Structure 1
Amino acid sequence: MTPSPDIERLIAIMAALRDRESGCAWDVAQSFETIAPYTIEEAYEVADAIARGDLADLRDELGDLLLQVVFHARMAEEAGAFAFGDVVQAITEKLIRRHPHVFGEARTRSPDEIKRMWGEIKAAEKAERAARRGLAPERLLDDVPRHAPALARADKLSKRAASVGFDWPDTAQVIAKIEEELSETKEALASGDRARVQDEIGDLLFAVANLARHSGIDPEAALMGTNVKFTRRFAAIEDALAAQGRTLADATLEEMERHWQAAKGDATTG
């Protein structure tokens, strides 16, 4: 089977890999549950390629992410639920439905008006979905993904709550809340109660996520940036020690701190 830019070839390859007689034993053994972590990982690798500005790598990572969609669709087709074409149809229907100002009769270029229409359409979709399943109407926070990264979910939860007015009026009050949560965290640490410490640190992180939101910053992206910066600076410590013929195990905390501060002052490690 030869490579091709045609999506049908990718679908055919996935079907061949999942063939129980002649396919790949690893691929055949997978399920939605076992593949889901790879799907999440590939999405992060896409984000990483974007952050690095590596478009060649982005092309490859988008391919890996597309494979995840094809993989899940193939397993669903085997279960008689839906196929890849149904996935494509569902998203095209949703895009057309959610953009009446482009594909329908509504005509507006106002971002605020578009956002308002988007919210109304999503609310109608949620009500229709609940009715179809014979369930009570979904509550405001019900469809915020529970398995999203905790910091990103905190951001989305607070945005939803803020959309109906449940929010601090300004950044100063968010900072006051952070200071309050920090004080409570200190008290919890002094108490030695591990469960209480975990609870208070969670409250502190949630308040910090709200500060990021009020500042127009994506908290997940901010922390990802800091993780990259920390990794780069720590590597600089190792490199500095290696230049002396030494390792991290040989260095004192004071020496590592000195190299850390040097890395902070280096424009290449920032």
Structure 2
Amino acid sequence: MSAASVTVGDVTGRIILLTTTHRIAPGLLSWPAWEALRGADRVLCADAAHPQVPYLREAGVAVETAEPDARELVDACAEGATVVVVAAADGEPRLTDGLARLAGSGRTEMPSLELLPGSYDLPGARLIDVVQTMDRIRRECPWSGGQTGEGLVKYGLEEAYELVEAIESGDREAVREELGDVLLQVVFHARIAEEDPDEPYSVDDVAGTLVEKLVRRHPHVFGDAVAETPADVKAHWLREKAAEKSRTSVTEGVPLAQPALSLVAKLAGRARTAGLDVRAGPADGLGGELLALALRAEARGVDPETALRAAARTYREAIHAAEAAAAAPPRQAAEGTAEPERDA
């Protein structure tokens, strides 16, 4: 429903259902919301612990802790009064259902019924729900409560690979789900880190560090540097990263635990960006041959890991086809070539 008023029947007063979101700091309400609150004859809220109530009272709004039913609320408006109901998180379904029944009966003179959003979620606000949900799970779930960062490593790897598979399959619903699973790993690790007795940090610290890094490594966006091509951007990024880490080699920071083809591509890309002329040396068995192929792919702008994975998927389909052929029943003899019946 939009912010516009929804009027039912003859106007003998006003009932305003004021909705807010817990994802916005309490007290940050729209101007129409404050006007409605200050101009109301009564302001009701069923939840004494509603996060908005202390701020409304601090602003001089008299908020009554009350939970009238639909009939009582309509009667309160009988003399033309305006009543604002500060809704709970679920939107007060019991009250709205009761008002709908009264309005539909045709026997009750109804006041004006208005739905007024007092605040709206900002982009990314649902991340607050993720953090709050994870916090409760960590406290109340026997399995989650006992996990450590080290114990979650295998799940992080699994989720990353599942995300890659979803992206490469082109299944957008699967990508959205797998992104959520990767996000869960981030939030889970950050929640565990809050409990460290010596060096605790929170998901806000993680996000703050990320923002600072993004700003610092994009001087062409947030500063005066100029980057006109993707190559310029990459050069900025690598320079800033090298300065931050005080690295003396382009190989520093390249994780050796990643898949071998990705490792070769990463090392080759670092060397090429640095302008280094590196010879792989003579091939040493199959490893040397694979290295040479990976270097050729990277030099052509092809990620060898992605290329081999695509070939592996094609090979998998070929295996499925071979399995289906092997499991198929023998073909019937062609018509006209069947064995003739024998005389009894």
Q: TM-score, normalised by structure 2?
A: 0.55
Q: Is the 8 A contact 2:250 2:274 kept in 1?
A: no
Alignment of 1:234-253 (within 5 A): 234-244=319-329
One-letter amino acid of the structure 1 residue matched with residue 192 of structure 2? M
Out of 210, 235, 238, the position equivalent to 1:119 is 238
Match of 1:32 in 2: 149
Distance 1:141 1:223 in 2: 24
Alignment of 1:85-104 (within 5 A): 85-104=204-223
Out of 190, 194, 199, the position equivalent to 1:77 is 194
The answer to whether the aligner puts 1:153 opposite 2:263 as a matched pair is yes
Question: How far off its partner does 1:109 sit?
Answer: 2.1
| Residues 77-104 of structure 1 deviation map (CA, whole Å, 9 limit, x = unaligned) | 1114211011111111111111111111
Q: Is the 8 A contact 1:15 1:74 kept in 2?
A: yes
Question: How far off its partner does 1:168 sit?
Answer: 5.7
Distance 1:17 1:105 in 2: 45
One-letter amino acid of the structure 2 residue matched with residue 213 of structure 1? E
One-letter amino acid of the structure 2 residue matched with residue 164 of structure 1? A
Question: How far off its partner does 1:29 sit?
Answer: 2.4
Distance 2:278 2:324 in 1: 45
Q: Is the 8 A contact 1:144 1:157 kept in 2?
A: yes
Distance 1:219 1:104 in 2: 35
More helix by share: 1
Over the aligned positions, Cα root-mean-square deviation in angstroms equals 2.3
Deviates more, 1:29-38 or 1:4-13: 4-13
Question: How far off its partner does 1:25 sit?
Answer: 2.0
Distance 1:149 1:101 in 2: 33
Deviates more, 1:230-239 or 1:145-154: 145-154
Out of 158, 165, 178, the position equivalent to 2:275 is 165
Out of 199, 219, 224, the position equivalent to 2:309 is 224
- Equivalent pairs counted in the alignment come to 206
Question: How far off its partner does 1:108 sit?
Answer: 3.6
| Residues 32-84 of structure 1 deviation map (CA, whole Å, 9 limit, x = unaligned) | 11211111111111111111111111111100010000011111111142110
Q: Is the 8 A contact 2:193 2:201 kept in 1?
A: yes
| Residues 187-225 of structure 1 deviation map (CA, whole Å, 9 limit, x = unaligned) | xxxxxxxxxxxxxx3333222211111121101101111
| Residues 148-187 of structure 1 deviation map (CA, whole Å, 9 limit, x = unaligned) | 1221112111222233333369xxxx8xx6xx52xx42xx
Give structure 1 regions of 4+ aligned residues with deviation exceeding 6 angstroms.
none
SS of residue paired to 2:194: helix
Q: TM-score, normalised by structure 1?
A: 0.70
Q: Which has the higher contact order (CA 8 A, sep 6+)?
A: 2
Deviates more, 1:33-42 or 1:60-69: 33-42
Distance 2:244 2:163 in 1: 29
The answer to whether the aligner puts 1:42 opposite 2:159 as a matched pair is yes
Out of 8, 15, 18, the position equivalent to 2:128 is 8
More strand by share: 2
* Identity fraction in percent: 40
Structure 1 gaps, min length 5 = 128-136, 186-200, 246-270
Match of 1:256 in 2: none
Distance 1:94 1:146 in 2: 23
Distance 1:203 1:47 in 2: 27
Match of 1:193 in 2: none
